[in-house]
C-alpha cells in the first residue's frame, strides 16, 4: 500500500493489524511519533492524516492507504517548534511531538485561537510533567 | 587536596553514613542576584531535539536484530503458580526464547502482588511476542491477599521496624493545651505514569554488557546491573541520553532490565523489554496510600504545645516506609512531638519514591490539621504558622539557610485576596482561599564530578555521566559553565547520559541534581578558567576574552576537572515555601475547581528562572491531580486493580490548569557549596493538596480529610459541616 508521509511517497508492507504509529516508527524509522499508551488515551502519537489530527496508535495503517500523512518530522520548520522551545513548553519532551502536531492542526484552522479553543483542542494530549501553562503560551504566541 | 571524610548522605529524606573522598571547595560563591547568564532565563539547550522528535529515547532505540519482549505478570494479588508450560509459546511464530520461574530471580511462581513477573517471551516483533505470551499455559492457585493496612499492622506484617520519633514530653504538652484537635486523614495510591514507560535495551558485547535504559540514576543502575549479573561495574555500560519522565520511579533496574539481559544472553541478540501502559499502571511503582491519625494541642494564642501522629504507610509488598511524619517533626517549633510510623506490607504492588515521598502526604495531614486548629482558635491561618515558626531546627541545630518568613511575607498579597475571592461566592458556588507551608530536603551532596574541555575556538564541552530526566538540568549545567568561563551560553555543549563517557554523577532524585552537579561543573569550569588565565598572562592578554586567549592553541585543549565539595557540617540543608490556593466549590454537586495557585519557594540561588517556573508549574499540576482526580483503585474484596489505563486513571489535562503564579526567593544559601543552590524538583508538589483542602474549608466550612477530594468526599464533608453547624446552633447557650 501507498502512503505519502511528509511529502514523500512510501510503499508500506504492514502485516494486517499494524497501526499507523508502528508503520511510521518501525518501517519508516520516523520515531518522532511517540507511543506512550498504545490505546488512544494520551495523544502522544498524534499525526495529521489529510490535515486532520489522528491518534496513530489506534489507526490501522491499512485504513489510511493512499492518504497524506504529516508527522513531527514534516513540521521541523514550522514556527510552532520555535514557539514551544521559546516558551519552555516541554520538560521531558516525550509528549511534545504529539502536542506540537495537535497545536499545528489547531492553528492551521484557527490562527489566533482563544484560551478556550486551545484548551478544547489540546485536552486530548496528556503531559505528565505538567508543561500545560507554557504549551498554552506557546500556542498563543506561535506567530512570534 | 583530596580528603577522606565520613559524612551523612541524604536522598529523599533517607540518611546513610558513607565514606567520601571530597575535594575542598575553594571557590567563593557569586554575589546574590542574576549574573550574565546564571540567574537569567535560558531556553532548553536540548529543546529543539526534543520538540522535533530527533531526540532518541530508549523507546525509540532499534538496534539491528533487536528482539522484543512480552512479560507474563500475575493477574492475582496473591497466588501460587501450580503449573506452567512455556513450550507452546516457544513454538509460536517469530519466538526466539522464553524464560520462567527459576530462570532468573526476577521471575517467580510465588506471586505476592498483581503484576509480579512470572515468565517472559522474546520474539522478532512485539506483536509476535505478545501473541506467544498468550500461548503460555499457566495455572494458578489463588490465595487470600492481605490488603488492609491497619490489619497488616495488627498482624505485624511490616516492612522494617515501626519508627518511633519523639522529643519533649508529648503527654505534658497535651495537658498544657487549651485546645486539642484530632483528625484522621487518608491519602490514596497515586501512579507516576511517566509518558515513556519503564524500559531497557540490553546487548551483550564481546566484553561486558551495554544497557540503554530510561533512568534517573545512571550510576545506580550500573552498580545494580553489575551486581545482578555478577560483572565488574566497568564491564557494564549504561546509556540514557533522553528520558521521558520518571518522578522517582526510575531509580533502579527492576525486573524488565534483568529479563532483557537474560533473553539477550540466551539469544545472543539485543533485546528490548518495555512495559506497556497497563504494566506501567500496575508494576512500575506508586506513591503509596497513607492513614494518618493526628493530634495537635495549642494554647489559645496559637502556640503549639503538642503534635502527635500515628502514620500507616500502605507500602505494598516491597519498598520502604517513607517519612510521612517528617513535616510534623520538622516544620514547627513545637517542643513536644511524638510520632509512630508503620510500613504495612501488603499484597499490593510495591511503592517507589514519587516526588517528595511521604512529605506530600504528611503535609496534607499536618497542614489541614493546623487549619482546623486555626478555625477553632479563630486565628488567621498564616498568623498561626508565623507564631510557630522556628529559627533553629527543633533539635537545636542551625539551618544552612532558611527564608520561610520571607516566603510568608511575599505570600501576603495572595493571601489578602481572600476577602475579594470569598465575596465572589454565589448561592451554590462557594469560593475561598487556603494556604500551606512546605519543608523538604533538596541540598544534594557529594560525590559528583565533571570534566570540561575548552578548544582553541573558545568553545567548551562539559562531560559528566549524569542524566536529564526532563527537569532542564542539562541547560542549568551549561549556564553555570558558561558563566564561570565567561563565554556565551551557546558556546557550551553538555555531554551526558553515558557511564563510559564521563565521571560519576549524582542521582536525579531528591531534588539533588542541580545542588549536586552544579558545584562540580562550576569547579571544573573554574579549573579551566585558571589555566586560561595563566596562558593569558604569558601572552600579555590579561583580562581578554577566552576566545582571544586560546586562539593560538590549535589542537591543544584546556582540560578542567571539578568535584562537588561536602555539605556544611552540623547544619541541616532544607528547602522551604508556601502556596496559596483559591478554589470554587459547587455545594450541590460537590465539584471543586482550583482557580488560582500562588507559590513562593526558597531554594537558594536560582540558575534558570524560566526552567524553574516550569518545575513549579509541573509540581503544582501534579499536586492538583493528586488532590482532585488521581487514584489507583483496587477491588477491596479481591485486591485486583481497577485503574490500569490512562482512561480510568485520571491525570490532569490542560483544561484542569488554574492560573499559576510563582516566585522564588533567589537568595544563595551562603553555607552550601560554591553555588548556594538547592533543588526545586520536589518542593512545589508538597503543599498543594493542603492549600486546596484549606481553601475548601475557607469556602465552605467543610473539613475534607481524604484524597482525592472526589465529589463523594466533598459532599460527605459538606454534610458533616452542616450537621456540626446545626448542633452548634441547637446547643444551649454557654456550652
CB neighbourhood size of B413 (10 A): 11
Using DSSP's 3-state secondary structure scheme, residue B415 falls into helix
The answer to whether position A8 is within a domain reads: yes
Q: Which residue of A has its CA nearest to B276?
A: A37
What's the average model confidence in pLDDT over B668-675? Answer: 97
pLDDT computed for residue B1 by the predictor: 64
- A85 and A62 inside one domain: no
Q: Which of A52, A73, A94 is the last residue of a domain?
A: A73
Task: Kindly give, in sequence order, each residue whose CB lies less than 8 Å from that of residue A112, ignoring residues fewer than 6 positions away.
Answer: none
Q: Could you give the CA distance from residue B550 to residue B537 in angstroms, rounded to a whole number? A: 12
Q: Which ranges of B189-347 does DSSP label H, i.e. alpha helix? A: 218-228, 254-267, 277-283, 326-330
Q: Considering only the top CATH level, what class is B397-443+567-735?
A: alpha beta
Q: Could you give the CA distance from residue B600 to residue B137 in angstroms, rounded to a whole number? A: 57
Nearest CA distance, A66 vs chain B (angstrom): 24
- A8 and A68 inside one domain: yes
Residues B347-370: tens digit of each pLDDT: 999 999 999 999 999 999 999 999
Q: How confident is the model at residue B5 (pLDDT cuts 50, 70, 90)?
A: confident
pLDDT computed for residue A125 by the predictor: 98
Q: Could you give the CA distance from residue B435 to residue B170 in angstroms, rounded to a whole number? A: 27
Q: Is B64 on the interface with A (CB under 8 A)?
A: no
Of A44, A85, A129, the CB nearest to B44: A85
Q: Which of B313, B307, B306 is nearest to B291 (CA)?
A: B313
pLDDT computed for residue B732 by the predictor: 62
Residue B651 in this model has a pLDDT that exceeds 70 = yes
Cell of residue B543, nine digits:
583580562
Q: Are strands B271-274 and A8-11 parallel, antiparallel or unpaired?
A: unpaired
Q: Could you give the CA distance from residue B358 to residue B405 in angstroms, rounded to a whole number? A: 24
CATH T-level topology, domain B2-57+445-489+505-563: Aldehyde Oxidoreductase; domain 4 (3.30.365)
Instruction: Quickly tell me which residue has 485503574 as its cell.
Output: B643
* A75 DSSP assignment: G
Instruction: Quickly tell me which residue has 502522544 as its cell.
Output: A44
* B424 DSSP assignment: T
Pick one of 3.40.930.10, 3.30.365.10, 3.20.20.70, 3.30.420.40 as the CATH number of B61-144+192-283: 3.30.365.10
What's the average model confidence in pLDDT over B225-244? Answer: 98
- A13 and A43 inside one domain: yes
Nearest CA distance, A75 vs chain B (angstrom): 8
Residues B81-93: tens digit of each pLDDT: 999 999 999 999 9
Supply φ then ψ for residue B311, to 5 degrees: -115, 125
With an 8 Å Cβ cutoff, are B277 and A37 in contact?
yes
Cell of residue B98, nine digits:
522464553
* Window 706-725 of B, Cβ < 8 Å to A: none
- A111 and A91 inside one domain: yes
Of A92, A96, A126, the CB nearest to B243: A92
For the stretch B246-261, what's the b/e string if a residue is b when 16 or more beta carbons lie within 10 angstroms of its beta carbon? bbbbbbbbbbbbbbbb
H/E stretch holding A103 reads: helix A96-109
The answer to whether position A144 is within a domain reads: no
Total domains in the fold of chain A = 2
Q: Could you give the CA distance from residue B695 to residue B433 in angstroms, rounded to a whole number? A: 4
CB neighbourhood size of B427 (10 A): 7
Q: Could you give the CA distance from residue B217 to residue B434 in angstroms, rounded to a whole number? A: 37
B551 torsion bin: left (phi>0), alpha (psi -120 to 50), beta (else): alpha
For chain B, the domains span 2-57+445-489+505-563, 61-144+192-283, 397-443+567-735
Cell of residue B404, nine digits:
520561610
Chains A, B: CB contacts within 8 A come to 170
What's the average model confidence in pLDDT over B109-136? Answer: 98
- A67 and A79 inside one domain: no
What's the average model confidence in pLDDT over B539-567? Answer: 95
Nearest CA distance, A12 vs chain B (angstrom): 16
For the stretch B635-659, what's the b/e string if a residue is b when 16 or more beta carbons lie within 10 angstroms of its beta carbon? eeebbebebbebeebebbbbebbbe
What average pLDDT is seen over chain B? Answer: 96
With an 8 Å Cβ cutoff, are B621 and A132 in contact?
yes
- CA A138 to the chain's CA centroid: 15
Residues B572-626: tens digit of each pLDDT: 999 999 999 999 999 999 999 999 999 999 999 999 999 999 999 999 999 999 9
Q: Could you give the CA distance from residue B173 to residue B335 in angstroms, rounded to a whole number? A: 8
Q: Could you give the CA distance from residue B540 to residue B384 in angstroms, rounded to a whole number? A: 63
What's the average model confidence in pLDDT over B645-656? Answer: 98
Topology match between the domains B61-144+192-283 and B397-443+567-735: yes
Residue A14 in this model has a pLDDT that exceeds 90 = no
Q: Could you give the CA distance from residue B55 to residue B306 in angstroms, rounded to a whole number? A: 53
Residues B369-404: tens digit of each pLDDT: 999 999 999 999 999 999 999 999 988 899 999 999
Residue B7 in this model has a pLDDT that exceeds 90 = no
Instruction: Quickly tell me which residue has 512480552 as its cell.
Output: B70
Give the domain CATH number at A88.
1.10.150.120
Q: Which domain holds residue A91?
A: 75-139
Q: How confident is the model at residue B224 (pLDDT cuts 50, 70, 90)?
A: very high
H/E stretch holding B583 reads: strand B575-586
With an 8 Å Cβ cutoff, are B195 and A35 in contact?
no
The interface pTM score, or ipTM, of the predicted complex is 0.98
Residues A83-102: tens digit of each pLDDT: 999 999 999 999 999 999 99
- A120 and A60 inside one domain: no
Q: Could you give the CA distance from residue B597 to residue B89 in angstroms, rounded to a whole number? A: 53
Q: Name every chain B residue with its beta carbon within 8 A of the beta carbon of A39.
A: 277, 645-647
pLDDT computed for residue B576 by the predictor: 98
Q: Could you give the CA distance from residue A9 to residue A5 in angstroms, rounded to a whole number? A: 6
Q: Which of B510, B559, B566, B546 is nearest to B359 (CA)?
A: B510
Residue B294 in this model has a pLDDT that exceeds 80 = yes
The answer to whether position A122 is within a domain reads: yes
pLDDT computed for residue B735 by the predictor: 44
- A114 and A55 inside one domain: no
With an 8 Å Cβ cutoff, are A130 and B56 in contact?
no
Q: Is B62 on the interface with A (CB under 8 A)?
A: yes
What's the average model confidence in pLDDT over B656-682? Answer: 97
With an 8 Å Cβ cutoff, are B52 and A81 in contact?
yes
- Range in B194-198, B506-510, B648-652, B661-665 the model is least confident about: B506-510
Contact B424, B431 (CB under 8 A): yes
Q: Could you give the CA distance from residue B67 to residue B260 in angstroms, rounded to a whole number? A: 9
Over its C-alpha atoms, chain A yields an Rg (Å, rounded) of 15
Give the domain CATH number at A17.
3.10.20.30
- A34 and A58 inside one domain: yes
Residue B24 in this model has a pLDDT that exceeds 70 = no
* Window 215-244 of B, Cβ < 8 Å to A: 242-244
Which of A82, A93, A139 is the best substitution to test chain B (most B C-beta atoms within 10 A)?
A: A93
Residues B251-289: tens digit of each pLDDT: 999 999 999 999 999 999 999 999 999 999 999 999 999
pLDDT computed for residue B731 by the predictor: 65
The answer to whether position A114 is within a domain reads: yes
pLDDT computed for residue B727 by the predictor: 87
Q: Which residue of A has its CA nearest to B241?
A: A92
pLDDT computed for residue B22 by the predictor: 74
Residue B548 in this model has a pLDDT that exceeds 60 = yes
With an 8 Å Cβ cutoff, are A97 and B193 in contact?
no
With an 8 Å Cβ cutoff, are B654 and A92 in contact?
no
Instruction: Quickly tell me which residue has 524538583 as its cell.
Output: B681
Q: Could you give the CA distance from residue B250 to residue B198 in angstroms, rounded to a whole number? A: 7
Share of chain B above pLDDT 90, in %: 94
Amino acid at each position: 500500500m501507498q502512503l505519502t508521509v511528509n511529502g514523500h511517497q512510501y510503499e508500506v508492507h504492514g502485516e494486517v493489524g499494524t497501526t499507523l504509529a508502528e508503520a511510521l516508527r518501525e518501517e519508516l524509522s520516523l520515531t518522532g511519533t511517540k507511543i506512550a499508551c498504545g490505546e488512544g488515551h494520551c495523544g502522544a502519537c498524534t499525526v495529521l492524516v489529510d490535515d486532520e489530527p489522528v491518534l496513530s496508535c489506534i489507526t490501522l495503517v491499512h485504513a489510511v492507504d493512499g492518504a497524506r500523512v504529516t508527522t513531527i518530522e514534516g513540521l521541523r520548520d514550522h514556527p510552532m517548534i520555535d514557539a514551544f522551545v521559546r516558551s519552555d513548553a516541554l520538560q521531558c519532551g516525550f509528549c511534545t511531538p504529539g502536542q506540537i502536531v495537535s497545536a499545528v492542526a489547531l492553528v492551521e484552522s484557527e490562527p489566533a485561537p482563544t484560551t478556550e479553543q486551545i484548551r478544547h483542542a489540546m485536552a486530548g494530549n496528556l503531559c505528565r510533567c505538567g508543561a500545560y501553562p507554557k504549551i498554552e503560551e506557546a500556542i498563543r504566541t506561535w506567530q512570534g | 587536596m583530596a580528603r577522606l571524610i565520613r559524612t551523612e548522605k541524604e536522598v529523599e529524606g533517607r540518611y546513610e553514613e558513607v565514606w567520601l573522598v571530597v575535594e575542598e571547595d575553594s571557590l567563593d560563591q557569586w554575589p546574590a542576584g542574576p549574573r550574565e547568564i546564571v540567574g537569567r532565563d535560558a531556553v532548553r539547550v536540548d529543546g529543539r531535539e526534543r520538540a522535533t522528535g530527533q531526540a532518541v529515547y530508549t523507546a525509540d532505540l532499534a538496534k539491528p536484530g533487536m528482539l522484543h519482549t512480552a512479560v507474563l505478570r500475575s493477574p492475582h494479588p496473591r497466588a501460587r503458580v501450580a503449573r506452567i508450560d512455556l513450550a507452546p509459546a516457544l513454538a509460536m511464530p517469530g519466538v526466539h526464547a522464553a524464560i520462567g520461574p527459576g530462570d532468573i530471580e526476577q521471575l517467580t511462581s510465588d506471586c505476592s502482588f498483581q503484576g509480579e513477573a512470572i515468565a517472559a517471551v522474546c520474539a522478532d516483533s512485539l506483536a509476535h511476542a505478545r501473541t506467544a505470551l498468550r500461548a503460555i499455559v499457566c495455572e494458578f492457585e489463588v490465595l487470600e491477599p492481605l490488603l488492609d493496612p491497619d490489619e497488616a499492622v495488627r498482624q505485624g506484617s511490616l516492612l522494617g521496624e515501626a519508627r518511633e520519633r519523639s522529643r519533649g514530653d508529648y503527654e505534658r504538652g497535651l495537658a498544657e493545651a487549651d485546645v486539642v484537635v484530632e483528625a484522621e486523614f487518608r491519602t490514596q495510591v497515586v501512579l507516576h505514569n511517566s509518558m515513556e514507560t519503564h524500559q531497557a535495551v540490553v546487548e551483550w558485547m564481546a566484553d561486558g554488557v551495554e544497557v540503554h535504559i530510561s533512568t534517573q540514576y545512571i550510576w545506580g543502575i550500573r552498580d545494580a546491573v553489575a551486581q545482578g549479573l555478577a560483572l565488574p561495574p566497568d564491564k557494564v555500560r549504561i546509556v540514557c541520553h533522553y528520558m521521558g519522565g520518571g518522578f522517582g520511579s526510575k531509580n533502579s533496574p527492576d525486573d524488565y532490565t534483568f529479563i532483557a539481559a537474560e533473553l539477550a544472553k540466551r539469544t545472543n541478540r539485543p533485546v528490548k523489554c518495555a512495559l506497556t501502559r497497563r504494566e506501567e499502571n500496575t508494576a512500575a511503582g506508586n506513591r503509596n496510600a497513607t492513614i494518618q491519625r493526628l493530634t495537635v494541642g495549642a494554647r489559645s494564642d496559637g502556640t503549639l504545645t503538642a503534635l502527635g501522629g500515628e502514620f500507616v504507610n500502605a507500602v505494598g509488598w516491597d519498598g520502604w516506609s517513607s517519612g510521612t511524619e517528617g513535616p510534623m517533626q520538622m516544620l514547627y517549633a513545637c517542643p513536644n512531638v511524638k510520632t509512630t510510623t508503620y510500613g504495612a506490607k501488603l499484597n499490593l504492588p510495591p511503592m517507589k519514591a514519587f516526588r517528595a515521598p511521604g512529605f506530600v502526604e504528611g503535609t496534607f495531614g499536618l497542614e489541614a490539621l493546623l487549619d482546623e486548629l486555626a478555625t477553632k482558635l479563630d486565628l488567621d491561618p498564616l498568623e498561626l504558622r508565623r507564631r510557630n515558626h522556628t529559627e533553629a531546627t527543633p533539635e537545636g541545630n542551625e539551618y544552612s539557610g532558611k527564608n520561610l518568613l520571607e516566603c510568608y511575607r511575599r505570600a501576603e498579597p495572595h493571601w489578602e485576596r481572600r476577602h475579594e475571592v470569598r465575596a465572589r461566592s454565589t448561592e451554590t458556588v462557594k469560593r475561598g482561599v487556603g494556604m500551606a507551608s512546605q519543608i523538604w530536603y533538596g541540598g544534594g551532596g557529594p560525590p559528583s564530578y565533571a570534566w570540561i574541555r575548552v578548544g582553541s575556538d573558545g568553545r567548551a564541552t562539559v562531560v559528566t555521566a549524569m542524566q536529564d530526566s526532563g527537569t532542564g538540568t542539562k541547560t542549568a549545567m551549561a549556564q553555570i559553565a558558561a558563566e564561570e568561563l565567561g563565554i556565551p551560553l551557546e558556546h557550551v555543549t553538555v555531554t551526558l547520559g553515558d557511564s563510559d563517557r564521563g565521571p560519576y554523577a549524582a542521582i536525579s532524585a531528591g531534588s539533588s541534581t542541580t545542588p549536586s552537579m552544579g558545584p562540580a561543573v562550576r569547579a571544573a569550569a573554574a579549573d579551566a578558567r585558571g589555566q586560561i588565565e595563566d596562558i593569558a598572562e604569558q601572552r600579555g592578554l590579561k583580562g581578554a576574552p577566552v576566545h582571544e586567549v586560546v586562539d593560538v592553541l590549535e589542537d591543544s585543549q584546556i582540560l578542567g576537572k571539578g568535584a562537588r565539595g561536602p555539605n556544611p557540617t552540623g547544619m541541616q540543608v532544607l528547602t522551604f515555601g508556601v502556596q496559596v490556593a483559591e478554589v470554587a466549590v459547587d455545594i450541590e454537586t460537590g465539584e471543586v475547581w482550583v482557580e488560582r495557585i500562588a507559590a513562593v519557594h526558597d531554594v537558594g540561588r536560582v540558575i534558570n528562572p524560566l526552567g524553574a517556573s516550569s518545575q513549579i508549574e509541573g509540581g503544582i499540576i501534579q499536586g492538583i491531580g493528586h488532590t482532585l482526580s488521581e487514584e489507583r483503585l483496587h477491588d477491596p474484596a479481591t485486591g485486583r486493580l481497577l485503574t490500569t489505563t490512562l482512561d480510568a486513571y485520571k491525570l490532569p489535562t490542560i483544561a484542569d490548569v488554574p492560573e499559576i503564579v510563582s516566585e522564588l526567593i533567589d537568595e544563595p544559601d551562603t553555607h552550601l557549596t560554591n553555588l548556594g543552590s538547592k533543588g526545586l524538583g520536589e518542593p512545589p508538589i508538597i503543599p498543594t493538596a493542603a492549600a486546596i483542602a484549606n481553601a475548601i474549608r475557607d469556602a465552605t466550612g467543610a473539613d475534607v480529610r481524604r484524597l482525592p477530594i472526589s465529589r463523594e468526599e466533598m459532599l460527605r464533608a459538606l454534610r458533616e459541616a452542616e450537621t456540626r453547624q446545626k448542633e452548634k446552633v441547637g446547643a444551649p447557650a454557654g456550652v
